[in-house]
A and B are shown apart, each in its own frame.
Chain A
Amino acid sequence: MFWTSYFLALLAVLLAWPVPILLSRARWPARSPFPAMVLWQAVALAGGLSMIGAMLVYGLEPLGDNLVSGLRGLARILFSNGSVDRLGFWHVFALSTAALLAAHLLFTLLVTYVRIQRQRFRHRELLHLLSSPDIERPGTVVINHPTPVAYCLPGGARSVTVLSDGLMDLLEPAELRAVLVHENAHLEQRHHLLLWAFAAWRSALPWLPTSRLAQRSVSSLIEMLADDVALKEVDEATLIKAIMIVASGNPADDPAGAAGEGALAEPAADSVAVAGRLSRLVEPQPPLENARRGLILAAAGLLLAAPTAVLVVPGLLG
């Protein structure tokens, strides 16, 4: 039990700090965004699990040899008025922190979900009044605005892709197709669920700088994944041109955004993402070899399995 909590604490520290930093600096994710995405999810999940697990195991140490017997002992104390004497101050502290952290993470996930859904609902409502359906393309609406903009608003069966007049005027048919396939890939691969989870992770742990790093990396990876889907229908040159045209018509000079505090840092991050997307299209690199991709996916699986096994297996064996 004792060593388990040390192992989990070490894992939590590694996954909270050096691992995300190394992963965000690595160059291979641009070559194979999918395994990179899986690895980010494993890092975040295993990080949270080992953070909570380390404190739980430490706190339960006096009550049993493993998680199961420890939890049983805790239940006796909580529900059957068992004696608390065996627990020292730090054990109670660790248990309370584990419970609070778990509740905090789940609650933030829920709150973020509700907030996103509410914003999407309101957005969809206004959009319905202001846009007109595109007759040629189902699930697509056109909004009357000169800025070249394309985006998709996820919402199950009500998912919609929005194009502006400005965009349709600027793009050739093939470029427009690249944009539509790209947006549709976001919807089909359910990227909004990833964005939700990592947005929640970031708002739950704002003091952890790597939570922002994770969100940035994940947003840029989903763009690469969607670009790769678009490349199945159009060539690189067409997609590059579409990205350049839309980006050049989107300077970050909207007055309200620039006036807001801290807004200045965000466009820079966007720019970095755009540059990363363009460079992997301009100079395409071969995807990682199958063996290395397998290795990365196995590492992701191991990351999730390790804390789970350390927590659960001794209880099952005992």
Chain B
Amino acid sequence: MASLGELERAVMDLLWETQEAVTANTLRDLLAQRPSQGEEAKELAVTTVLTVLSRLEKKGLVERERGIRPHRYQAVTSRAEHTAELMHEVLGTATDREAVLARFIGSVSDGEAATLRKLLGRD
């Protein structure tokens, strides 16, 4: 069966797509319907889905509506916002970033970017 990491990704993809709160049962059914998954995915237990959801909840990616049962789960923020957050880490100018990852090119000033674009004939 797929690793927890893969399942986390599949669950987040579904939550980002549906954009509404769903139950673990619904998620399990949606996961089983996905075309890329083989027979194994259909045997996915609801408890496995719940494990994945609680891991995602701990990471602050998923929130659950308490109060009514069964609990409904939804993504905390959209995929685009998460991507923007990640890119901010990459493009940001914090000194920490320099040691965390190695960027192909650092940021240049607006003026220099414009000059480069002119040289490339893109403006």
Inter-chain contacts of A195 with B (CB < 8 A) = 98-99, 102
| Contact yes or no, A150 B103, CB < 8 A | yes
Give the chain A neighbours of B104 by CB distance below 8 A.
Answer: 149-151, 179, 182-183, 242-243, 246
Tally of contact residues, B, Cβ under 8 A = 42
Cross-chain contact of B101 among A152, A241, A269 (Cβ < 8 A): A152
The docked-state distance in angstroms from the alpha carbon of A28 to that of B92 is: 31
B36 to chain A, nearest CB (A): 12
Q: Is B79 an interface residue (CB 8 A)?
A: yes
Asked if B93 contacts A129 (CB within 8 A), the reply is no
User: Is B88 an interface residue when CB atoms closer than 8 A count as contact?
Assistant: yes
Q: Known contacts A195-B98, A248-B113, A267-B93; decide if A274 and B88 are in contact (CB<8 Å).
A: no
Asked if B43 is an interface residue, CB under 8 A from chain A, the answer is no
Q: Report the minimal beta-carbon distance from A181 to chain B, rounded to whole angstroms.
A: 11
Stretch of A34-42, A82-90, A255-263 with 4 or more beta carbons under 8 angstroms from chain B: A255-263
Given contacts A126-B86, A128-B5, A149-B90, contact A267 B109 (CB under 8 A): yes
**Option from A115, A215, A273 in Cβ contact (under 8 Å) with B106:** A273
Complex contact B83–A144 (CB within 8 A): yes
B101 touching A120, Cβ below 8 Å: yes
Stretch at the interface among B17-25, B27-35, B115-123: B115-123
Complexed CA–CA distance, A155 and B87 (Å): 19
Measured as residues with beta carbon below 8 angstroms from the partner, the interface class of chain A is 35 or more
Q: Are A151 and B101 in contact (CB under 8 A)?
A: yes
Task: Tell me which residues across on chain A come within 8 A of B114, comparing CB atoms.
Answer: 248, 251
Task: State A249–B20 Cα separation when bound (angstroms).
Answer: 35
Min Cβ gap B115→A in Å is: 8
**Known: A127-B86, A179-B104. Contact between A247 and B9, CB under 8 A?**
no
In the complex, A162→B91 CA distance in Å? 13
Give the most central of A252, A260, A269: most B CB within 10 Å: A252
B85 in contact (CB, < 8 A): yes
| CB–CB B90/A247 < 8 A | no
Q: Contact mask A78-103 → B, CB, 8 Å, 1/0?
A: 00000000000000000000000000
Contact with B along A234-278 (1 / 0, CB 8 A): 000000011111111111111011001001001111110110000
Q: How distant is the Cα of A179 from the Cα of B5 in the complex, in angstroms? A: 28
Q: B39 in the interface, Cβ–Cβ < 8 Å?
A: no
With A128-B9, A252-B108 already in contact, the answer to whether A257 and B92 are too (CB < 8 A) is yes
Q: B66 at the A/B interface (Cβ < 8 Å)?
A: no
CB neighbors of B among A119-155 (8 A): 119-120, 123, 125-130, 143-145, 147, 149-154
Give A310 Cβ to nearest chain B Cβ, in Å.
32
Instruction: Establish whether residues B93 and A257, one from each chain, have CB atoms under 8 Å apart when the complex forms.
Output: yes
Interface residues of B in 1-23 (CB under 8 A from A): 5, 8-9, 12
B contact residues around A244 at 8 Å (CB): 116, 119-120
- Contact in complex: B83, A143 (CB < 8 Å): yes
Question: Which of A112, A115, A123, A248 sits near B122, CB closer than 8 Å?
Answer: A248
Please, could you name 14 A-B residue pairs with CB atoms under 8 Å apart, sorted by A?
A115-B96, A123-B100, A126-B82, A129-B61, A199-B95, A248-B116, A248-B117, A250-B107, A252-B109, A257-B93, A260-B93, A266-B107, A267-B93, A271-B109
